[in-house]
Amino acid sequence: MRSYIAVGSCVFGWLLAVVLYRLTHDSELALSLDNLPFPFIAFLPIAVLMMTLHFYNIGKYLTKKMIVLLCIIPLCTSITALIPSLNSLLRYDHVMTTMSPLHLAKYTWNWWFYVHTVYSYLVSMASVVIAILRHRKQPSGYAIPSGLLVASILCTLSGNFFTIIKALDIDMTMFSSTVGLLILYIAIANNPGVEYLMIAHKQLINNMEDAVFIMNKQRQVVELNAAAQTWINSIGFTDIIPYNFTQVISFLEAKGGRVKKSDFHASDQNVFLSIHDELVVYTMSERQVVDNKGQIIGLYIAVKDITQYNKMVTMLEQEADIDQLTGIANRRSYEQRYVEMDKEENLPLSVIIADVNGLKKVNDQLGHNFGDELLCSVVTGVLRACPENSFFARIGGDEFAIILPRCANDKVNSLIEEMKESIKQEKTELFIPSVAFGAATKTFIEQNMQKLISEADKKMYQQKEYDRRR
């Protein structure tokens, strides 16, 4: 449609220049106005070529570089026509002989006019060749509009040709161009491809599961699909058009929704909202709409319900942080947590490293199933004695760690004794669980956490060696 507007602009600009030329009573002004149609005439073949390529949906071959090259000669023609000192390149001896009742001028064409004419005919014939070649490939139903396009171009060319060879006493170019423009409009209006694409685009958008909001640059909603209307109704927001989309965000926040920037795209947002005491999560993906020149002319937002996806991700993240055998935190979670807990408000911060005695012997003599049972019994005993604010993790095959915020050294020692007694309660006919403990306490924030853990680990091995000898 834009290329048709370009063709129409050239024809109507040409017509306006002719009308102004006919209305003036000043001979000098008439001479200037007599050259005014040339810029519109010069760019008309380029506009027709662009429209032909877009008509057959092959406009992708019309690159910016090609457009610039195509416009060089029309631009030169416009300059020679609009700058009086260069007019002689188009016409020799350009003199008004009669002003009334008709404007008549005496002149002879100069060399640049023939350059311009040959170029214009070459570009116009290129449009005809493209139209004829593509016309033969059109399916039934597309042939008539395609034929009208060819007829429109030929109509304009024939009128101009008869005028140049002076086969007629009057200038037929303006008349033939106007008729060609009307035929061209009929071709576009009856092109089933245009209607088909409009219907296909509309159905495609309305059949999308995502809610799509199309907005102008001021973020005012100008159109939305069926899913978007359903979503708007479900959250209780009405009359979206022509409201600003930021009002939707404000409405969700007023209902208790929490808006968070997405981790994947800077312009995306995630909205966490509680509906009927159930957490619902939406992702809002925002993208810009740009024209052929790369200028931003609007944007659209796609809203998707990712509640189930969010639940699955949360579950996977939890599983990734949990030891599958014992159900407590694993080493990955432990390494994150002790860094997070290394803060001044948690001082004194104590760490207990524990190692199960005799696990290898149980595995070798009784089997790994009994070894797993031993580990689980130790976890049960430790959990029974652990304070609520503690963090308990399995960090190796038979090794565990306990982080205790705001827990002094003397309290840690008493907790270890409680844990030992609690673990003994998990004894079976085949084994009595036994664990070696080592502990260290951080009292100053400047103390290194890794050194603290190493100290607790060292004490644990000393205790383990003592237990072995005993």
Same domain membership, residue 156 and residue 97 = yes
Instruction: Examine the pLDDT at 263 and tell me if it is beyond 70.
Output: no
Same domain, 144 and 220: no
402 within a domain of the structure (yes/no): yes
Q: Is residue 385 one of the residues assigned to a domain?
A: yes
In a domain, 315, yes or no: no
Per-residue pLDDT tens digits for 291-301? 767 788 889 98
What is the residue whose two structure tokens read 């069926």? 226
In terms of Cα–Cα distance, which of 74, 76, 105 is closest to 92? 105
Is residue 355 in some structural domain? yes
User: Given a cut of 80, is residue 414 above it in pLDDT?
Assistant: yes
Predicted structure pTM score: 0.43
**399 shares its domain with 362:** yes
Token representation of residue 389:
């604010």
- pLDDT range class, residue 266, cuts 50, 70, 90: low
What average pLDDT does the chain have?
81
pLDDT at 114: 86
Tell me the mean pLDDT in the region 360-384: 92
Number of separate domains in the chain: 3
Taking the C-alpha atoms of residue 209 and residue 230, their distance in angstroms, rounded to an integer, is: 10
For 322-348, write each residue's pLDDT tens digit: 888 898 999 989 998 989 999 999 999
Residues 440 and 372 grouped into a single domain = yes
Q: Are residues 261 and 355 in the same domain?
A: no
Which range of residues forms the domain containing residue 452? 321-469
Asked if residue 332 and residue 277 are part of one domain, the reply reads no
Is residue 202, in this structure, part of any structural domain at all?
no
Nearest to 385 by CA among 357, 411, 346, 409: 411
The pLDDT of residue 334 is 92
**285 vs 186, which has greater pLDDT?**
285
Residue 330 sits in the same domain as residue 268? no
Most trustworthy range by pLDDT among 150-164, 239-253, 389-403: 389-403
pLDDT the model gives residue 164: 59
Is residue 416's pLDDT more than 90?
yes
**Does 248 have pLDDT greater than 80?**
yes
Q: In this structure, is residue 178 part of a structural domain?
A: yes
5, exposed or middle or buried, with CB in 10 Å at 0-12, 13-18, 19+?
exposed
Locate the DSSP E strands across 70-199: 91-98, 104-109
Q: What is the pLDDT of residue 433?
A: 93
Percent of the chain clearing pLDDT 70 (strictly above): 81
- Identify whether residues 281 and 399 lie together within a single domain: no
**Residue predicted with more confidence, 385 or 21:** 385
* CATH of residue 248: 3.30.450.20
Domain end position, chosen among 170, 196, 222: 196
**Which residues have CB under 8 Å from 236's CB, separation 6+?**
251, 255
Confidence of residue 420 (pLDDT cuts 50, 70, 90): very high
Last residue of a domain, one of 256, 283, 310: 310
pLDDT at 194 over 60: no
47 and 146 assigned to the same domain: yes
From 267, 282, 310, give the residue that closes a domain: 310
pLDDT in tens, 42-76: 888 888 788 777 777 776 677 888 888 988 998 99
**Rounded (10°) angle between helices 111-135 and 37-55:** 20
Is 294 found in the same domain as 181? no
- Domain holding 416: CATH number? 3.30.70.270
Please give the average per-residue pLDDT across 230-252, as a whole number. 78
Residues 183 and 36 in one domain: yes
Mean per-residue pLDDT for 80-95?
Answer: 83
In a domain, 316, yes or no: no
List residues bridging with 276 in a β-sheet: none
Q: Please state the rounded mean pLDDT for residues 449-459.
A: 93
For residues 67 and 146, membership in a common domain is answered with yes
